[in-house]
Amino acid sequence: MIDKINALRAELAALAASGDAVDVEALRIKYLSKKGAISALMNDFRTVPAEQKRELGQALNELKTFATDTINALRETAEAGRAKADVPDLTRTAAPVALGTRHPLSLVREQIIDIFRRLGFTIAEGPEIEDDWHVFESLNFAADHPARDMQDTFFIGRRPDVLLRTHTSSVQTRVMTSQKPPIRIICPGRVYRNEAISARAHCFFHQVEALYVDKNVTFADLRQTLLYFAREMFGPQTEIRLRPSYFPFTEPSAEMDISCNLCGGKGCSFCKGTGWVEILGCGMVDPNVLEACGIDSKEYTGFALGMGIERITNLKYQVKDLRMFSENDVRFLDEFVAAK
Ligand code: DAH
């Protein structure tokens, strides 16, 4: 028996000395539990001859104390190691934080606003849920004008006079009915049209409208404003061209083309070989519109223009599919990190 006691003692001493990471609980079970090695010796102790009891009993007790001390010491070492591992390393470089990017439409909207701000235009906003008067009636749309059609306009509920605005021109009349000239405003906003969603059309998109009403505002003012805008937006080499057009709320009306900013006007697939790309509609505010808003058309004249922000963004960044603007795929958005 004394040999067994000494062997266990040696085993425990070797464990304590080795410094290896150990499963302390497994050791406790192996040596100290009811079915452990030391309990087994205690059982054997009962059969030991009386004259040996004193010596072996003492050795056995010492072994038990030694085992308990050793295992407690190992447990303390293991716990200290774990606590140390939990302390964060304050010298480590921080994990990079993924920063978002500004949406390309926001970037371009801000650029447009910035250019007009330098000409003295201030921002005006209006509601997206509008009434027929502000979107159509006041803007000289005839009662049977196709733009009022269900095909184009989203109506709210069954009321024909509550609808989602189809253009930001409605903000013109909101401002003209509440402010006196001179008026010089720029109105960015979202508009809605009942179109099937495809690479080239969406049921919502964004426009910027500009309106200038004062005494003696002429077509020459409009042209010069457009030229300034085009060159600030697309570069100083840009040329503009105005083509006669029709809008109910302007007379005369025009559409503006800019020299193709991809081929410089030589003709490419983007401008379909013409050297020009269309970017906006404009004209002199129709006297009927001024009068509908309570502005004396004999005293005041004005010009207005409206453009699609998606269109301008496509020209600047060649985004081929309109749907990318609303899908918010971060791989697409990340391409605009460097854009300002
Ligand atoms: N509202 C027109 C549209 O949605 C754009 C437009 C054209 C606005 C001519 C204007 C303008 O102010 O003068 O297509």
pLDDT at position 10 is: 86
Closest CA to 280 of 199, 174, 208, 203: 208
Cα(231)–Cα(170) distance, integer angstroms: 27
Query: Coil, helix or strand for 92?
Result: coil
Ligand 1 atom 13, closest CA:
282
Residue 169 in contact with ligand 1 by CB distance below 6 A: yes
Ligand 1 atom 7, closest CA:
281
Ligand 1, residue 210: give the atom nearest the CA.
12
Ligand 1, residue 283: give the atom nearest the CA.
13
Query: How does pLDDT run along the chain (340 residues), one tens digit per residue?
Result: 888 888 888 888 887 777 666 787 888 888 888 888 888 888 888 888 888 888 888 888 888 888 888 888 888 887 877 777 777 778 888 888 888 889 999 999 999 999 999 999 999 999 999 999 999 999 999 888 887 776 689 999 887 789 999 999 999 999 999 999 999 999 999 999 999 999 889 999 999 999 999 999 999 999 999 999 999 999 999 999 999 999 999 999 999 999 998 888 888 888 899 999 999 999 999 999 999 999 999 999 999 999 999 999 998 888 888 999 999 898 999 888 776 5
Cα(136)–Cα(61) distance, integer angstroms: 102
Quote the ligand 1 centre to 306 CA distance (angstroms).
4
Residue 138 in contact with ligand 1 by CB distance below 6 A: no
pLDDT at position 19 is: 65
Ligand 1, residue 169: give the atom nearest the CA.
1
Ligand 1, residue 168: give the atom nearest the CA.
1
Instruction: Name all contacts of 215-224 with Cβ < 8 Å and 24+ positions apart.
Output: 215/181, 215/182, 215/299, 215/300, 215/301, 216/301, 217/284, 217/300, 217/301, 217/302, 217/303, 218/301, 219/252, 219/284, 219/303, 221/303, 222/282, 222/283, 222/284, 222/303, 222/305
Ligand 1, residue 303: give the atom nearest the CA.
13
Q: Write b or e for each residue in 241-264: b if 16 or more Cβ atoms lie within 10 A of its Cβ, otherwise e.
A: ebeeeebbbbeebbbbbbbbbeee
pLDDT at position 287 is: 97
Strands 183-192 and 122-123: parallel
Residue 311 in contact with ligand 1 by CB distance below 6 A: no
pLDDT at position 220 is: 98
Residue 247 in contact with ligand 1 by CB distance below 6 A: yes
| Tokens coding 202 | 């969406």
Residue 126 in contact with ligand 1 by CB distance below 6 A: no
Residue 306 in contact with ligand 1 by CB distance below 6 A: yes
Cα–Cα separations (whole angstroms), residue 270 to 3, 201, 230, 314 = 96, 17, 18, 11
pLDDT at position 20 is: 67
Closest CA to 199 of 332, 319, 335, 336: 319
